[in-house]
Each structure stands twice: as C-alpha cells, then as structure tokens.
Amino acid sequence: MITSNQNIGSLSCLPRVPLCDIKTPIEHMKNLSRIIGGGLLYVKRDDCNGLAFGGNKVRQLEFYFGEAINNGCDTIMMTGAVQSNFIRTAAAACRKLGLNCHAQLEERVDKHDLEYRNNGNVLLNNLLGATLYSFPEGENEAGADRRLEEIAQDLTKQGHSPYIVPMSPDHKPLGALGYIIAAQELLEQINEMKINIDEIVVAAGSGNTYAGLLFGLRALGSHIKVIGICVRRDAKQQYSRMQTRFEQIADLLDMEQLVPDEDIHLIDDYLSPGYGLANEDVYDAMSLGAHYEALILDPCYMGKTTAGLLDRACEGKEEKKNILMFHTGGSPALFGYADELRLKDKNKSNKWNIPNKY
C-alpha cells in the first residue's frame, strides 16, 4: 500500500510505503534527570517502531520503497557497512513486501573478529535471506554505488527489475523525508504531553535523519535547537554535507530552503577513533544508559549520541534545559562488539561523575 503524507511542499505527492504504523513513544528519563539535576531529559524511542529491531532506517526507507514499488521494481539494492542497520531494515522490509534484497557490505571499520563479521546485523541479514556482496573500500561512496549499478545490470539481464537505494550525497535524499514526518509527529506529541523541549540531540551519519528532522521542524514553524552528534565524519565535512542536504530537500519538495546556516549545530567530540569504533566515554555512556534507563545502546551511533546528551545536560543544568534525544536504534550491532564490552572496566569512574551502578 502506498499512502499520502502531510502537506509540506510537495510531500503529499511523493509515493510512500508505511513500514511502521505507530507513533514511537516519548519517555521521561527520570533517573538520569534526577542524578544530573537541572532540566528534564526525554528520549523518543524510534528503536521501538516495530520492524526487525526498528530504528531510524524504517522511516528513511518508506519513501525509497514507495518509489521502488511505484516504478514496478521487484528487487531492492543498497550498500552499507558490515554491521549496517540500513541493510538489516531493508532486508526486513523486503520480506514484508515480497521483494528481493541484494546488499553490499563495505569495509568501513578495521575490525575483523568473528563476532563482528558474523553476529548482529550480519546474522539477521542472513536469517532474512538477503543476498550479500562485499566491497573492499569503506570511504568510496561513488565507487560503492557504481558497483551496485554493475550488479543491477546483471540482475536486469536475469529478468529482475532492481531499485538502488544510493549512498553518495549526489542523489535526491528521499530518506530525509521520513524525518520531516517525524518532526510533525514529535511536535504533536510534546503538545499533547504539555512538555517543553529546548534542544534535540540526534546522531548524524548519512545526515538524512538530522537534515529531515531540522528541515521539518523549521517548515512547521518550530525553532527547537537540533544538535547533530557526528558518528562518521568530522563536523566540518558534515556541515558542508548538511548544507547540500537542505538544498536537495527543498528542491525535492519544490519549496524554499528554510534552514539558515546558523541553525546547523554539529559536534564531533565523540567521533574518535572513527566510524564504527568507540572510546571510553562512549562505552561509559552505554553503561549509564543501560543502568539508569534500561536503554540498549550500540557503540556506533547511540553510544556516541548518549555521550553527547550527557554533556549537553551537564552543561545546561544551571539553565534547566529540557533535552530530548532520538533513540535511532542499532541495538543488533551491539552483538558484534562483545569482546570490547567484556573488556570494559565497569567499576571505573566516568567524566560525568555518575555512579556506574546503583
């Protein structure tokens, strides 16, 4: 089924296949709010949107799948890291919709142990019946897309009609549109709950979630500050990418670009040692999220985002800032990092001076 959407520019004219039918809940993080003091902390649980462990990729894929089905395609193709949440979610959506899934795993992370290579999202991809390929480079988006085109040509010769979900930023950002809808959903919820939000913290990887959310908020008249936590590239590179993304979204929706440069806030303090790897502060944030709020966080995306949330909360407690974090999922990838988690010193103090245990 393809459905119409909210009236923001030409959004209602673009085909969309709904992959989740519920508003994801907003939870008050009572324990961390109490311990840190100051304002209130909230989390929007986009990890709970119901499709194969959920996550932000569910919303992102709705418009890609809408276009694919509208074009009569029978096969979805995409590229991503070995522990890609995008590929796992696409494979699940394909099973629900009766489509084939062909996915390319890129060597983005210098990690070669068996758990990373075979567990987590890789295990789920195989369980869901995705056809997997390997690509030797991790930072060559254009090259990865070209290789997908070559595979697509072979599939076409075999009688299939493939649709490629592109990786490189030169293509129209259909994935960002899902978070324009999420922005409207969020504003409706906080109005219903009668809560005030001063800042939103969200991971910024491909940039589709961050760009769609910020563009959507501005299109709907909201001036809530949105902080992007860089998880793949540094803030300077990401800033330029986001400027392009906002222009692309405006063109796609046939409307004015609504996000001024001064509204783009990106932090790369938690990026080191790189994409798919984590430092001690990130592992501490993962432990604190689990111990105090029962949040299951991965080291690639949500561990870094939660470290950013804790810093923002501690810095803003005198102003009593209320901060909301989008939990964008990724929990299956956690099982690819079991060795690192086993080696972590759980009794070590952390930079926020929050006890690791009750």
Q: Which residues are the active-site residues? A: 84
* Amino acid (1-letter code) at residue 28: H
- Helix (H, G, I), strand (E, B), or coil: what is residue 59? helix
* Amino acid (1-letter code) at residue 41: L
Please tell me the distance from the alpha carbon of residue 59 to that of residue 176, in angstroms, as a whole number.
9
Handedness of CA 103, 107, 108, 113 (dihedral sign): positive
CB-CB neighbours of 129 under 10 Å: 11
HEC assignment per residue over 205-222 = CCCHHHHHHHHHHHHCCC
DSSP single-letter state for residue 16: B
* Amino acid (1-letter code) at residue 340: E
Please tell me the distance from the alpha carbon of residue 238 to that of residue 271, in angstroms, as a whole number.
12
Please tell me the distance from the alpha carbon of residue 142 to that of residue 146, in angstroms, as a whole number.
6
Strands (E), the chain: 26-28, 41-45, 75-81, 100-106, 131-135, 162-165, 199-204, 225-230, 265-267, 323-327
DSSP result, 284-337 = HHHHHHHHHH-----TTTHHHHHHHHHHHHHHTTTTT--EEEEE---GGGGGG-
From the list 169, 170, 236, 181, the residue with the least C-alpha distance to 206 is 169
Cβ(344)–Cβ(62) below 8 Å: no
Report residue 138 as tokens: 């991790």
From the list 247, 218, 242, the residue with the least C-alpha distance to 228 is 242
Strand-pairing partners, residue 165, are 78
